[in-house]
């Protein structure tokens, strides 16, 4: 029969479930489904395969093409790294430092999370693994002072990139944001246009909650880009669509494991394809 279509109510339900389970979020999912319904009508789409291809196109259209980090063309570039506790800041800093060192960049790390001794030791360990120096103070010392020392050390050693780790507990707490602002302001006193990148690290398994976190950090310290971690888990990281749409922030890297090698550039096409794959990398 002419006009026969593979696309029925079940198809739409399956797509809706897939998007919601991938943490794309209900508002984005609903607007995508509306858009797809009208495309199915106007373009005469009848095959599920065509529908998925068109949907992938729409999803890619929602993502910002990543640009390289703004870390060259000056004596010292500074990266401030923020995010809630456990999101993967310290680990991602270690991985980034390793990548930069492989690219022959002279990197130095600042242990701005002085809240716990273990946090300082953890960054030092990553510094050893990545082969880059770490400037640290005593536990519970003022992070702004550590950062100040780190900038001076960076200048003295002719480092090209300084990456600043920060504490992440109590993200809803006024004190944490105030501390981040203070660290940023100290950076600016010594390097007037710093930080050149302010990266927010988001745990890919936290779903839509990541959006409200991102908004709070954005308000306090003007985030310039995002790193999403733990996408080696079953989490799909679909909250990125809402974050990109509402905050206009590019995603630079994704974390895909706990070792030094497990950080890759964000690739919108691969990311969208991964939403449609099951855990074995096969198409759903
Ligand atoms: P921080 O509190 O934001 O500094 O977070 P950490 O860097 O200490 O990371 C918290 C936990 O998440 C650690 O156990 C890390 O090994 C783990 N982690 C960080 N990134 C990834 C990732 O991409 N994949 C996986 N599986 N684990 C990660
Ligand atoms: Mg940490």
Task: For domain 9-62, give the fold.
Answer: 1.20.120
Start and end residues for every CATH 3.40.50.300 domain found in the chain? 77-275
Query: Average of pLDDT values for 275-284?
Result: 69
Q: What is the mean pLDDT of residues 150-166?
A: 97
Q: Using the mean position of ligand 2's atoms as its centre, give its distance from the Cα of residue 189 in Å.
A: 25
Question: What are the tens digits of pLDDT across the range 57-75?
Answer: 999 999 999 899 999 999 9
The whole-number pLDDT of residue 282 equals 57
Q: Which residue has the tokens 């988001």?
A: 202
Domain ranges in the chain with CATH number 1.20.120? 9-62
Q: Give me ligand 2 centre to Cα 36, in Å.
A: 42
Q: Is residue 203 within 8 Å of 87, Cβ to Cβ? A: yes
For ligand 1, atom 26: residue with the closest CA:
257
CATH superfamily placement of domain 77-275: P-loop containing nucleotide triphosphate hydrolases (3.40.50.300)
Rounded distance between C-alpha atoms, residue 28 and residue 276, angstroms: 16
**pTM, to two decimals:** 0.94
Nearest CA to ligand 1 atom 5: 88
Q: What is the pLDDT of residue 1?
A: 43
In this prediction, residue 147 has a pLDDT band, given cuts at 50, 70 and 90, of: very high
**How large is the average pLDDT for residues 6-23?**
95
Averaged pLDDT, 11-38: 95
Q: Which residues, in sequence order, are CB contacts of 128 under 8 Å at separation 6+?
A: none
Mean pLDDT of the chain: 93
Q: What integer is the mean pLDDT of 213-240?
A: 94
pLDDT tens digits for 116-131?
899 999 999 999 999 9
Q: Is the pLDDT of residue 33 over 80?
A: yes
Backbone angles phi and psi of 231, in degrees to 5: -85, 5
CB of 198 within 6 A of ligand 1: the answer is no
């Amino acid at each position: 029969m002419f006009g026969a279509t593979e696309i029925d109510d079940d198809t739409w339900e399956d797509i809706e479930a897939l998007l919601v389970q991938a943490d794309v979020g209900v508002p984005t999912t609903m607007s995508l489904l509306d858009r797809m319904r009208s495309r199915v009508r106007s373009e005469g789409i009848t095959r599920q395969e065509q529908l998925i291809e068109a949907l992938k196109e729409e999803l890619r259209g929602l993502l910002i093409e990543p640009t390289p980090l703004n870390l060259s063309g000056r004596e010292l570039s500074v990266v401030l790294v923020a995010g809630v506790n456990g999101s993967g800041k310290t680990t991602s800093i270690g991985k980034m430092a390793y990548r930069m060192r492989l690219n022959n960049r002279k990197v130095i790390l600042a242990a701005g999370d002085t809240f716990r001794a273990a946090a300082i030791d953890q960054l030092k360990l990553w510094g050893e693994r990545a082969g880059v120096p770490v400037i640290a103070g005593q536990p519970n010392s003022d992070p702004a002072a550590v950062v100040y020392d780190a900038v001076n050390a960076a200048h003295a050693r002719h480092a090209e990139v300084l990456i600043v780790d920060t504490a992440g507990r109590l993200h809803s707490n006024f004190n944490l944001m105030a501390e981040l602002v203070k660290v940023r302001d100290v950076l600016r006193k010594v390097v007037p246009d710093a930080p050149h990148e302010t990266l927010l690290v988001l745990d890919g398994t936290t779903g839509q909650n990541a959006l409200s976190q991102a908004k709070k950090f954005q308000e306090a310290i003007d985030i310039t880009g995002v790193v999403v971690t733990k996408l080696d888990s079953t989490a799909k990281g679909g909250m990125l669509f809402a974050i990109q749409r509402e905050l206009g922030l590019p995603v630079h890297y994704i974390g895909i494991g706990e070792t030094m090698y497990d950080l890759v550039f964000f690739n919108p096409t691969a990311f969208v394809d991964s939403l449609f794959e099951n855990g074995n990398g096969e198409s759903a």
